[in-house]
Amino acid sequence: MSSLILPAVLNGLTMGAVYALIALGLTLIYGVLHIINFAHGSLLMLGLYAAYFLFHFWGIDPYLAIVIVVPAFFALGYVLQRGIIAPMSAGSEQNVLLVTLALSLVIDNLALYFWTSNTRTADIAYAYDTVEVLGAYLTLGRVIAFFAALLVAGLMWLFMTRTRTGAAIRAVAIEKRGAEIVGIDVGHTYALCFGIGTACVALAACLLLPTFYVTPQVGYTFVLVAFTTVVMGGMGSLPGALVAGLLLGVIEALGGLFLGESLGQLGIFVAFILTLLFRPAGLLGRRPT
């Protein structure tokens, strides 16, 4: 068993990178709009289908598809927030949650209707190649996702801290009314955030597709872990989501190794509950005011 620990940890890190990628978009939305976006998993599923169809019909490699899918999903997210979520939730936190839930029901079942429940996989030969690291075989597609997660988290952090738009977003997140007074268009900023969050999840989808499958239900596979990652990292904290994602990947891997894969999933949720109880601000988050 002990010889398995190192490979398990390394594999866990690469899986955790995927969690982090998915959670980056969610944490931005959570942190700025203060909403639990239950449609996040469905948007991931849509992203996977988008990348899949680009590959299937036009032979576009999922890694190249990023340049098409990510801007398209930014637009989709912007429109969803501006056109549906904001007007339909009428400002109530509970309603936002339910609107996104209903939205996920719409997206999932449209996918089921139009694309059927068949499992689809993009057969990208090199994605299943392995990279040998410290004697462990790691999936190439996952290793790419790992470095992409680091890069994206870094870029987004720079965007948030070094650009005017980023500053506006942070201002809205901290003090909505104050931001309004100094002339920031809050509705636009919210939609911008939702757009960026959706673009992130689309990016995660492009990086996930080569090593995973697509079905209309695939979003559920990741959505709860994504929430856990967001809360553990501290809501709205981009570096937090990265660290928490990687950590959860390792916790899951070790939990699986020592408790069995079924019970091993517990590790994730126990970590989740402990964080919520003892460090509600998350590993790297600020204390909520």
Partner 1 sequence: MMRFASLGQAALVALVVVYLLAVYLLPSQVWMGFTINALAMSIVALSWNITGGFGGMASFGHAAMYGTGAYASAVLQVQFGVNAWVAFAAGIAAGALMGAFIGALAFRYGVKGSYFALVTLAFAEVLRICASAFEITGAGRGLQLTLQPGVATLQFNNDRVLTYTLLLGIVALVMALTAWLKYSRFGAYLVAVRENEDAARALGIDTYRVKVTAMAISGAFGGLAGAVYLQLWLFIDSSVVYGVSISVTALIGPIIGGAGTVWGPLVGTLGLHLLGEGAKTALHGAPGLNFVLYALVLIAALRFLPQGLMGLAARIGVLGRKGGDDA
Partner 2 sequence: MTHHINRRGLLKASGAMALLSGLASPAILRAQTPAIKVGVLEPLTGNLAYNGNQCAAGARFAAEAINAAGGIKSMGGAPIELVIVDAESRPEVAAAAVDTLAEAGVCAFTGASASALGLASSQAAAKYDLAQVFSVGTAEAIVERGLPNVFRFTPGVTKITAVALENLGLLNEAAGKPVKTAAIVHEDGPFGSQLAGIVETELPKLGIEIVEKIAHPTPHRDFNNIALRVKASKADILIPTNYINEYTLMTRALQQQRVELMAIYSILGGAASNIKFVRENNDIAQYVIDCNHWYDPNKEASKALAASAAGAGIDMTYDVMVAYATIQVIADALERSGSADRKAMIEALAASDYDGSIMPYGPTKFVNGDNVNSRPVNLQVRGDKIEVIFPKEYATIEPVFPRPAQG
Q: Binding residues for partner 1, per CB under 8 A?
A: 34-36, 84, 87-90, 92-95, 97-99, 101-103, 105-106, 108-110, 112-113, 224, 227-228, 231, 260, 262-263, 265-266, 269-270, 272-273, 276-278, 280
CB atoms within 10 A of CB 65: 24
Stretch that binds partner 2, among 31-39, 170-178, 214-222, 277-285 (CB under 8 A): 214-222
DSSP string for residues in 95-115:
HHHHHHHHHHHHHHHHHHHHH
- Which of partner 1, partner 2, none does 2 bind, CB closer than 5 to 8 A by kind? none
Residue 269 Cβ vs partner 1, minimum distance, rounded to whole Å: 5
d(C-alpha 79, C-alpha 60), whole Å: 26
Stretch that binds partner 2, among 20-28, 63-71, 118-126, 186-194 (CB under 8 A): 118-126
d(C-alpha 14, C-alpha 249), whole Å: 7
- Which of partner 2, partner 1, none does 73 bind, CB closer than 5 to 8 A by kind? none
- Which of partner 1, partner 2, none does 185 bind, CB closer than 5 to 8 A by kind? none
Q: Which residues of 101-119 are buried (b: 16+ CB within 10 A; e: fewer)?
A: eebbeebbeebeeebeeee
d(C-alpha 273, C-alpha 263), whole Å: 16
- Cβ-based nearer residue to partner 2, 100 or 108: 108
- Cβ-based nearer residue to partner 1, 58 or 114: 114
Residues that contact partner 2, how many (by CB under 8 A): 38
Residue 225 Cβ vs partner 2, minimum distance, rounded to whole Å: 8
Residue 251 Cβ vs partner 1, minimum distance, rounded to whole Å: 14
Q: Does 147 interact with partner 2 (rule: CB under 8 A)? A: no
Contact positions with partner 2 (CB under 8 A) in 163-202: none
Q: Does 8 interact with partner 2 (rule: CB under 8 A)? A: yes
What does R_g of the chain's alpha carbons equal in angstroms? Answer: 19
- Cβ-based nearer residue to partner 2, 216 or 234: 216
Residue 59 tokens read as 């032979």
Q: Does 15 interact with partner 2 (rule: CB under 8 A)? A: yes
| DSSP three-state, residue 280 | coil
Residue 143 Cβ vs partner 1, minimum distance, rounded to whole Å: 29
Q: Report the Cα–Cα distance between both ends of the chain, in Å, rounded.
A: 45
Residue 183 Cβ vs partner 1, minimum distance, rounded to whole Å: 28
Residue 263 Cβ vs partner 2, minimum distance, rounded to whole Å: 9
Residue 266 Cβ vs partner 1, minimum distance, rounded to whole Å: 5
129 — alpha (psi -120 to 50), left (phi > 0) or beta? Answer: beta
CB atoms within 10 A of CB 177: 8
CA angle (237 as vertex; 231, 239 as ends), nearest 5: 110
Residue 97 Cβ vs partner 1, minimum distance, rounded to whole Å: 7
Please report how many Cα atoms fall inside a 13 Å half-sphere around the Cα of residue 46, on the Cβ side: 25
Q: Does 59 interact with partner 2 (rule: CB under 8 A)? A: no
- Cβ-based nearer residue to partner 1, 1 or 90: 90
Please report how many Cα atoms fall inside a 13 Å half-sphere around the Cα of residue 161, on the Cβ side: 10
